[in-house]
Structure formats: structure tokens, C-alpha cells
Homo-oligomer: A and B are copies of this chain.
Amino acid sequence: MTDTPVCVLGLGLIGGSLMRAAQAAGRDVFGYNRSLDGVAAARLDGFDATATLDQALARAAESDAVIVLAVPMPALPVMLEHIRRVAPDCALTDVTSVKGAVLREVEAHGLRSRFVGGHPMTGTAHSGWAAGSQELFAGTAWVVSVDDDVDALVFADVMNLALDCRAFVVPARSDEHDAAAAAISHLPHLLAEALAVTAGDVPLAFALAAGSFRDGTRVAATAPELVRAMCEANSEELLATLDRTLGLLTQARNHLAAHTSVADLVDAGHAARIRYDSFSRPDILHVTVGAENWREELAAAGRAGGVIRSALPVRGNRG
């Protein structure tokens, strides 16, 4: 349990849900939103929201709140500029789907020592305050960064926030997170788009489309701006996984052209999916945040499928 107040910047689907979930957990929560509509909607639901950024940040600085960046990537530099000026000592996290690019922005603004990145792996096809729910994070994964230099107390603040929102925490390095996100989220989006376009040009295809096509193209219904933003923000990692997939598909293509078997790809794909189905999620229990090698131990545990379901003990290492 912790009493750290929470300052949420951006009250869209994720920020708005986080505000609700943290308040439901008994936290003191307040937030900022750029549009007055969003502020009015949050207030109407009984939440403490303002459209004046520096006012929210001044309060965060006074109350030693943890600040959550819940704005889209393009809005990040402006937020960080204000934070550096008004609340540079607050613990800082984010909820963005690409961690490397955020880390570079945070570093460029001199705030890296107080920052621990986060990525709640949840969402819906809708957006905005109204789409939010205090249940959005319940039972879902929330990645919390364990890069080489993260501060133990800030990590603990972010871990506790995620647990208060009823998520479980997956500790991961930012670079590994981005490589994994490319493979399990950004690549599937590109494959879904390509499948939809290909089938859309074949007469009778939509008339026959069933489960394989519906599942394979479901994420193509996501707003194109969001898909572009996440793919382009993670272009380097996405490029590597896309090239791997192109290699596999080109081999299969050559087998089909030569009337030889596509067994290599099909057997390997089946085996990988079966491994995924039996992937286990053991609880991480025996790591003390801030103890020697705690970051490496958490990264290794997360890589192996481990998750934090209740708060780990913390040994402070703050300045």
C-alpha cells in the first residue's frame, strides 16, 4: 500500500481509466487534459481535473505525486518541458506503447533519473474519457521498465500504481519491450492490413470470408493514425521482425512455386503457437527492489514469463 498521490496528464482512454482505477483504490488523484470537453466530462463524473497544465504540475510538486504521461507521443515534448520547469523532482512514468522513443525524449529533457517507463497492455477500439473504465487494467499485463539506471523508489511507485489498478506487472528492459512489441503487436497490425487489402481485391473473397479472415484482419479495424503512429515510432525493431517474416513467407512462396512442401513453415508455426499456449506465468516473489542486481533479476524473470502480482519489498536508493 502507498499513499503517493497521482497526477495524470491526458484523460483519454488510458489516462481516464487510470484516474478512475487509482481513485477506486483510495489514491488522491488529479489530472490535466488539454481539451475543455475532456475536463468537463471528468468533473461531471466527480473527478478532479483541470485544463491548466502548470496548475496540475504545481500541485504534483507540492504533494510529491507520481506524474503519469498519458498523452500521445507528439504531445510529449511540451509536457516534459513543463515538468522540467514546474515539477522536476516528481516520480515520472508513462503509458506509451513504444518505450525507446519515450526514453530518448525524457533524456533529452534531463528527466531520466526520475523516470520509469510503463506500458499497460490493454485497450479497446474506442478512445476518450467516456470510453474509460476503472476495470480496464484488471487482470492485464502492465510493463514497467527495469533499464540499467532506473531508481528503485520510482520503480516501486510505478509498480504500486499498476497493482492498485489491478494489473499485474511485467518487468522488462525498454529495448526488449520494443522488440517484443514489434513482434506481437506492430507486426500483426501490418499483416492484418496486408491481408485485408489482398482479399479486398479478390471477387467472392468477402462473400466467403469466415473465422480465419475475421481473426486475421480484426486489428485492421483500428484507427489508421494509431497504427501508423505505433509502427513508425518503433520502425527499427519492426523492420527487423518484418524482414524475418518476409523471409519465412518468401521461402514458402518458393516452395509453392516449385510444388514442394510448405511443411517447414507450417510445422514451425504450429510448434511456436503450441509453445505459446503452454507459456506459464509464475509469480515473481523473491526479489527485493533496490537490492544488488535487482534490475537484472527482474528483467530475467520477466523474460521467462514471470509477473509481479503483489508488491515486492523495496530497499530505498533515492539520492
Contact = CB atoms under 8 A, between A and B. Distances in A.
B224 A203 contact: no
A252 B274 CA distance: 29
A205 interface: yes
Contacts of A285: none
Copies of this chain, complex-wide, total: 2
Interface string A270-287: 111111110101000000
A276 B200 contact: yes
A127 interface: no
Interface string A219-235: 11111100110011001
A180 interface: yes
Given A244-B198, A253-B246, A272-B199, A204 B219 contact: no
A202 B266 contact: no
B197 A141 contact: no
Given A217-B273, A231-B256, A266-B231, A241 B141 contact: no
12 contacts: A140-B210, A172-B208, A184-B212, A185-B208, A187-B195, A191-B249, A197-B268, A215-B218, A223-B270, A224-B270, A228-B261, A235-B259
Given A202-B179, A256-B231, A269-B192, A208 B246 contact: no
Q: Report whether over half of chain A's contact residues are helix, strand or loop; otherwise say mixed.
A: helix
A265 interface: yes
Contacts of A143: 208
Interface residues of A, number: 97
A252 B180 contact: no
A216 B215 contact: yes
Given A183-B198, A194-B269, A197-B248, 20 more contacts: A177-B208, A184-B202, A184-B210, A185-B213, A187-B198, A191-B195, A191-B249, A194-B245, A194-B248, A194-B265, A196-B270, A198-B241, A204-B303, A207-B305, A215-B215, A220-B273, A224-B269, A224-B270, A228-B266, A246-B253
